[in-house]
């Protein structure tokens, strides 16, 4: 018969996290969960002024930001793995992100503010922030989803295999990587390259929107479905969206044409689809020509 308190299946728990894409421990110090279970229950914490919780430890395995992580006093005391938490969109953190981004007056200032923003958990698992690469004064801006492993190591967007293909696609329309501006919707690598959660996207959105506004390109290219959705709000999948001009409206109301196209990582897996991306890039070339000759 099972004892009253089953020992925690640590191996199973770690396997569960690994399969969910959580591959990085977030705490500098190991946490003894067995000892925690034996400790008497702590008094509930007083919330901080402004509705923020006390500084959370960097050990959340959730998908939100540190302010929605349970504090040690709130950590479940039973031996069983914690049930999945409902991540409540943290409106306060989104508001902080909006304020920080909207008041940045230059791309450099925006980069500093993004680096100082602690509201998104991804910052704490990533090695580096990938803000941008290329020429911020370019007429053409590419936006991907989120950095992968190589980007995380180098702190630059699109430097891995996808980036090499992107460079060749850019060259195919007569440009070079250093002539265009490149960024991501999310500037930090999600653990295990998992898809960013809607909350993470909302927390990072004010920064990429301000980045677009400050760079002020004539044409945007959304690389892949998540970037296309984040920039245009279009609900369709990328296979339906690609090749059709959409628009992005900046926070100050400027409307910029967006070409949604297939992500280079997808093209590496499905090379037969490259012909569609080629058509999309030719459309971008023609649009740039049209807009720059119009002045
Ligand atoms: N995929 C992306 O969306 N962005 C990168 O920077 C790299 C791969």
φ, ψ for residue 47, nearest 5 deg: -65, 150
DSSP 32-49: -HHHHHHSPPPPPPPPPG
Reply yes or no on whether the pLDDT at 29 is more than 90: no
Residue 166 alpha carbon to ligand 1 centre in Å: 10
182 CA closest ligand 1 atom index: 6
Reply yes or no on whether the pLDDT at 51 is more than 60: no
Residue, of 286 and 14, whose pLDDT is higher? 286
Reply yes or no on whether the pLDDT at 272 is more than 90: yes
Please say whether the beta carbons of 135 and 181 come within 8 A. yes
- pLDDT of res. 78: 46
Reply yes or no on whether the pLDDT at 125 is more than 70: yes
Residue, of 1 and 131, whose pLDDT is higher? 131
- pLDDT of res. 90: 80
- pLDDT of res. 15: 64
Give the pLDDT band (50/70/90) at residue 34: low
pLDDT tens across 140-196, in order? 999 999 999 999 999 999 999 999 999 999 999 999 999 999 999 999 999 999 999
Please say whether the beta carbons of 147 and 130 come within 8 A. yes
Section 133-143 average pLDDT: 98
226 CA closest ligand 1 atom index: 3
- The pairing of strands 255-261 and 246-249 is antiparallel
Reply yes or no on whether the pLDDT at 42 is more than 90: no
Mutate to test the pocket of ligand 1, among 132, 163, 269 (most ligand atoms within 8 A of CB): 163
Share of the chain above pLDDT 70, in %: 70
Mutate to test the pocket of ligand 1, among 160, 201, 268 (most ligand atoms within 8 A of CB): 160
Decide: 184 in ligand 1 pocket, CB within 6 A. Answer: yes
Residue, of 58 and 198, whose pLDDT is higher? 198
Residue 92 alpha carbon to ligand 1 centre in Å: 28
Residue 147 alpha carbon to ligand 1 centre in Å: 4
pLDDT tens across 59-111, in order? 332 334 444 343 333 444 444 555 554 454 588 999 999 999 999 999 999 99
Mean of all residue pLDDT scores within the chain: 82
- pLDDT of res. 6: 60
Please say whether the beta carbons of 87 and 64 come within 8 A. yes
Reply yes or no on whether the pLDDT at 45 is more than 60: no
Give the pLDDT band (50/70/90) at residue 57: very low
Section 108-134 average pLDDT: 97
Q: In angstroms, how far is CA 212 from the centroid of its own chain? A: 15
Rg for the chain, CA atoms, rounded: 22
Enumerate residues 6+ apart whose C-beta is below 8 A from 285. 173, 174
Section 22-38 average pLDDT: 57
- For each of the domains in the chain, give its residue range(s) and CATH number, in order of start: 91-294 (3.40.470.10)
């Amino acid at each position: 018969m099972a004892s009253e308190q089953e020992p925690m299946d640590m191996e199973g728990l770690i396997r569960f996290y690994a399969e969910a894409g959580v591959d990085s421990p977030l705490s500098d110090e190991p946490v003894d969960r067995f000892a925690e279970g034996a400790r008497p229950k702590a008094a509930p914490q007083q919330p901080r002024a402004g509705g923020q919780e006390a500084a959370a430890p960097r050990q959340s395995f959730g998908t939100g930001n540190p302010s929605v992580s349970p504090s040690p006093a709130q950590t479940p005391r039973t031996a069983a793995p914690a049930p999945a938490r409902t991540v409540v969109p943290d409106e306060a953190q989104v508001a902080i992100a909006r304020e920080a981004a909207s008041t940045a007056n230059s791309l450099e200032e925006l980069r500093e503010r993004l680096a100082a923003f602690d509201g998104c958990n991804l910052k704490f698992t990533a090695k580096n922030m990938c803000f941008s690469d290329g020429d911020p004064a370019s007429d053409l801006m590419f936006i991907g989803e989120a950095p992968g492993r190589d980007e995380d190591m180098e702190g630059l967007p699109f430097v891995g295999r996808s980036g090499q293909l992107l460079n060749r696609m850019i060259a195919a329309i007569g440009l070079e990587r250093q002539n265009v501006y490149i960024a991501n919707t999310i500037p930090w690598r999600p653990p295990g390259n998992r898809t960013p959660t809607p909350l993470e996207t909302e927390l990072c959105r004010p920064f990429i929107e301000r980045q677009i506004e400050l760079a002020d390109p004539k044409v945007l290219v959304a690389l892949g479905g998540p970037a296309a959705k984040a920039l245009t709000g279009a609900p369709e999948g990328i296979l339906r969206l690609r090749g059709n001009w959409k628009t992005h409206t900046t926070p100050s109301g400027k409307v910029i044409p967006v070409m949604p196209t297939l992500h280079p990582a997808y093209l590496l897996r499905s090379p037969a689809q490259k012909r569609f991306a080629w058509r999309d890039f030719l459309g971008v070339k023609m649009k740039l020509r049209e807009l720059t000759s119009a002045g």
